[in-house]
Structure 1
């Protein structure tokens, strides 16, 4: 559906050239939810503008639905954009129009008849869970309801691709989850390809099939979400995964305290698949290798590709017994990373 090949975007600024996107290649399959994550300044916003043709790459190609957006202009670009819709962090609704009128707006521009507009608007209001709110104005809606209007409006012209630019960043956690569930339902029910830009790994974990991690304009890591969570490679990815896995400042403080008080032991971060969670692996390890284990922190998280768990433990005992215990864990398909410092 989307094929990005070696795109680079360079801006000329008063301070010289600024490379916002640096030789990025991505392939996004039809019907999947693909996440692009990075902190502010990583190049995410430029990427999304390249995808919808608002920016032209300095080099490279952006193929959407078989058409190179980077080379299209005029009528061809307008035609290509009809396949691509977008929702925004701050909703971008027309405040003088009702919910129905906001959703109908792109249909009006496309020249759809009034009868067909009304039918389509009614379908979309039902789809996004706003039945009974069609006559309301944006000022009368909650943040989550406003974003639902934004989603309905984005779907009005039956796009093939939906771009989400930090679509949940202005919402509270509970509302964020409800909007993510809505996007997941839409993806499953109509097979819409969704590209989601965010700085929150929780959002990626919740609904994305695959993810690309951006830093300083480059993609530093990409792959299936479950794989990336279980085996993060880049330092920035490890940081994102730690946050999404609930590793709080209190967890870090506990690890530091144990490292200071028991320097002879080992702290290990265990990462395991869902099937392993039901096995008494830790009990077996303690019995077999004469080690003392203290559990510091643990959590099981869900992704669209399956569940995974993380567990921080402190292992104490004779060095040989500790080494054998860690080796035992590896044989149980549990990844054990020894933490030397926090």
Structure 2
């Protein structure tokens, strides 16, 4: 559906050159919710603007649904952009227009007949949960309602791709969750491909199927969200995962836990999917002569399934602890001893 091949974007800044996007290769499937995460300056905002033709790459190609966006211009490019809509962090609504008129605006630009516009707007108002607010102005809406208007407006021309530029970072946590659930619902109902950029791993965890981690203009890690949570490879990815999965990997955490549990061995377990529902600890206690204390635990849910971490204190002889760890690994659970440096 979306193919980026060796895409690079450079900006001339005085006598120097800023490489905002550096030879990025990406493939995003039809109907996928794909996340791009990175801190400020990582290049993610530039990358998403390359997807709808608002920026042209210095080199490389961007292809959407078989059409090479980087090879077209003028009216053809404007037509292609209608199939790639965008929602924004600060909503970008027209403050002098009502909810209905904001949603109708792109249809007016596209030359859609008035009767057809009215029908389409009403469908979208129902879809995003704004029934009864058609005649309200943006100043009369909450942040979540404003973003619902933005989503409805972005869907007006039946796009194939919806780009989300930090679409929830201006919202409170409860409203963020509601908007993310709406995006998942739209993805399932319409089969819409969604690409979102964010600096919040909570957003990635909650709705994305796959994620690309960006740093200094490059994609440094790419994969299924569940697998990235289980085994983050890059330091930056590990920091993002720690935002929502307090896995206890940091040396400070290990030190504190060691002070609280000075005897035995601290072991971190990682569960994926159906593993989170299995009575593994019960089987461990029944079959091995070790004392097991639960120190800390957490379960996060992703679009691909659940991801759980559990920290245990194991007491027993060295041989008994080794056998317990071996048993856990035979149950397809990642188990590792937490070591102080």
Once residues 13 and 317 of structure 1 are traced to their aligned partners in structure 2, the CA distance between those partners, rounded to angstroms, is 63
| SS of match in other structure, 1:233 | coil
1:340 and 1:130, CA in 2 relative to 1: closer, same or farther beyond 3 A?
Answer: same
* Aligned ranges 1:216-227 → 2 under 5 Å: 216-227=216-227
1:285 and 2:261 aligned = no
Shift of 1:253: 6.1
Number of the residue aligned with 2:312? 313
Shift of 1:9: 1.2
Number of the residue aligned with 1:229? 229
Residue ranges of structure 2 left out of the alignment (5+ in a row): none
1:80 and 1:125, CA in 2 relative to 1: closer, same or farther beyond 3 A?
Answer: same
Number of the residue aligned with 2:151? 151
| SS of match in other structure, 1:268 | strand
Number of the residue aligned with 2:210? 210
| SS of match in other structure, 2:94 | coil
Once residues 45 and 12 of structure 2 are traced to their aligned partners in structure 1, the CA distance between those partners, rounded to angstroms, is 17
| SS of match in other structure, 2:56 | coil
**What does the per-residue CA deviation read over 1:118-145, in whole Å, with 9 as the maximum and x for residues that have no partner?**
1111111111100010100000000000
| SS of match in other structure, 2:336 | strand
| SS of match in other structure, 1:180 | helix
Shift of 1:58: 1.4
1:15 and 1:265, CA in 2 relative to 1: closer, same or farther beyond 3 A?
Answer: farther
* Aligned ranges 1:107-118 → 2 under 5 Å: 107-118=107-118
Number of the residue aligned with 2:337? 338
| SS of match in other structure, 2:85 | strand
| SS of match in other structure, 1:70 | helix
Number of the residue aligned with 2:64? 64
> Are the equivalent residues in 2 in contact too, given 1:93–1:138 (CA < 8 A)?
yes
* Aligned ranges 1:1-342 → 2 under 5 Å: 1-14=1-14, 16-246=16-246, 255-260=254-259, 265-341=264-340
| SS of match in other structure, 1:40 | coil
Once residues 240 and 117 of structure 2 are traced to their aligned partners in structure 1, the CA distance between those partners, rounded to angstroms, is 43
**What does the per-residue CA deviation read over 1:270-293, in whole Å, with 9 as the maximum and x for residues that have no partner?**
111242333332243345443333
| SS of match in other structure, 1:55 | coil
1:277 and 1:30, CA in 2 relative to 1: closer, same or farther beyond 3 A?
Answer: closer
Shift of 1:246: 4.3
| SS of match in other structure, 2:7 | strand
Tell me the number of residue pairs that the alignment of Structure 1 and Structure 2 aligns: 341
Once residues 233 and 84 of structure 2 are traced to their aligned partners in structure 1, the CA distance between those partners, rounded to angstroms, is 32
| SS of match in other structure, 1:18 | strand
Shift of 1:248: 8.4
Once residues 277 and 187 of structure 1 are traced to their aligned partners in structure 2, the CA distance between those partners, rounded to angstroms, is 27
TM-score with structure 1 length normalisation? 0.93
> Are the equivalent residues in 2 in contact too, given 1:255–1:296 (CA < 8 A)?
no
Once residues 16 and 140 of structure 1 are traced to their aligned partners in structure 2, the CA distance between those partners, rounded to angstroms, is 46
Shift of 1:336: 1.5
Once residues 239 and 276 of structure 2 are traced to their aligned partners in structure 1, the CA distance between those partners, rounded to angstroms, is 23
**What does the per-residue CA deviation read over 1:175-213, in whole Å, with 9 as the maximum and x for residues that have no partner?**
111111111111111111110111111111111111111
Residue ranges of structure 1 left out of the alignment (5+ in a row): none
